[in-house]
């Protein structure tokens, strides 16, 4: 049996204060509060900029022992470089402190832009460069450049652990047997993204784990999930977990539904 982990994409949302977060709760305590009620969280700040080892260490220390983070890969790699010539960028990403999460480091999410079509050679080259263990990631991190100063670089791993990767594409050109076969070849999970019909919603098994992002089924980033919809996602999660680990993240954060929907799904799969 696999483990089902359910959480949210990010945790710092002013609109959640006085709703999910109790009124008066200090912002520095919000991660700990969320982690006590959820089983995983996506770190999204890493998508926008390189973080620091001190930040990853603080997040690790503010969460329960059995908690797991997913980490979103940098948009510099996916949206600006568009997966080409990313050797140093990948080194900088892994040197920025990701390995400081230790045993709480879960999958790394790579979200591609809608205007990046499927190119077998480009995708294969990128997937082949991804480290598959924390030891490999540490060796890669040692190749960082000046964007990550030596006194802010983490290039060691406390222990060797497997490192998983998930790919969320937004171009329909990825919806081909060739693309799915490539993901299987490189053991990368095909993200099942629910985006109110905006981008492809693909339930394809390509790795030893499932990665689901729920952005809203009626209104992108905004609508909540009904009890019936949550029942259906719980059924899917239980079926996948017969053979695989499952990671589910609610990103319908605009109106504050995400943490409440996550807790409701946790109750259903418990």
Q: What is the pLDDT of residues 144-181, one digit of tens each?
A: 999 999 999 999 999 999 999 999 999 999 999 999 99
**Total domains present in the chain:** 1
Q: How many CB atoms lie within 10 A of CB 75?
A: 16
Is the pTM higher than 0.85? The answer reads: yes
Q: What is the pLDDT of residues 47-82, one digit of tens each?
A: 999 999 999 999 999 999 999 999 999 999 999 999
Mean pLDDT of 18-32: 97
CA distance 237 to 156: 34
CA distance 210 to 192: 8
CA distance 25 to 17: 8
CB 40 within 8 A of CB 106: yes
Q: What is the pLDDT of residues 175-222, one digit of tens each?
A: 999 999 999 999 999 999 999 999 999 999 999 999 999 999 999 999
CB 76 within 8 A of CB 49: no
CATH number at residue 242: 3.20.20.410
Mean pLDDT of 87-96: 98
Q: What is the pLDDT of residues 235-265, one digit of tens each?
A: 999 999 999 999 999 999 999 999 999 999 9
pLDDT at 179: 98
pLDDT at 83: 98
pLDDT at 81: 98
Q: Residue 211: which domain range?
A: 4-269
């Amino acid at each position: 049996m696999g483990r089902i982990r359910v959480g949210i994409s990010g945790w710092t949302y002013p609109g959640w204060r006085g709703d999910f977060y109790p009124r008066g709760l200090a912002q520095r305590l919000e991660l700990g509060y969320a982690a006590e009620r959820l089983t995983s969280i996506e770190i999204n700040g890493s998508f926008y900029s390189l973080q620091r080892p001190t930040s990853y260490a603080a997040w690790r220390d503010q969460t329960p022992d059995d908690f797991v983070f997913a980490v979103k890969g940098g948009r510099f790699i996916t949206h600006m470089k568009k997966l080409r010539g990313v050797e140093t960028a990948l080194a900088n990403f892994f040197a920025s402190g990701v390995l400081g999460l230790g045993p709480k480091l879960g999958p790394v999410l790579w979200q591609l832009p809608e205007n990046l079509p499927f190119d077998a050679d480009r995708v294969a080259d990128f997937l082949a460069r991804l480290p598959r263990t924390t030891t490999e990631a540490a060796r890669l991190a040692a190749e960082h450049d000046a964007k990550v100063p030596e006194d802010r670089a983490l290039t060691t791993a406390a222990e060797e652990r497997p490192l998983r990767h998930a790919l969320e594409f937004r171009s329909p050109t990825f919806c081909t047997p060739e693309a799915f076969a490539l993901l299987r070849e490189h053991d990368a999970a095909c993200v099942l993204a629910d985006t109110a019909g905006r981008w492809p919603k693909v339930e394809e098994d390509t790795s030893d784990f499932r990665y689901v992002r729920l952005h809203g089924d009626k209104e992108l980033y905004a609508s909540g999930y009904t009890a019936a919809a949550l029942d259906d996602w719980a059924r899917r999660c239980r079926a996948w977990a017969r053979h695989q680990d499952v990671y589910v993240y609610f990103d319908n954060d605009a109106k504050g539904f995400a943490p409440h929907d996550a807790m409701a799904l946790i109750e259903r799969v418990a």
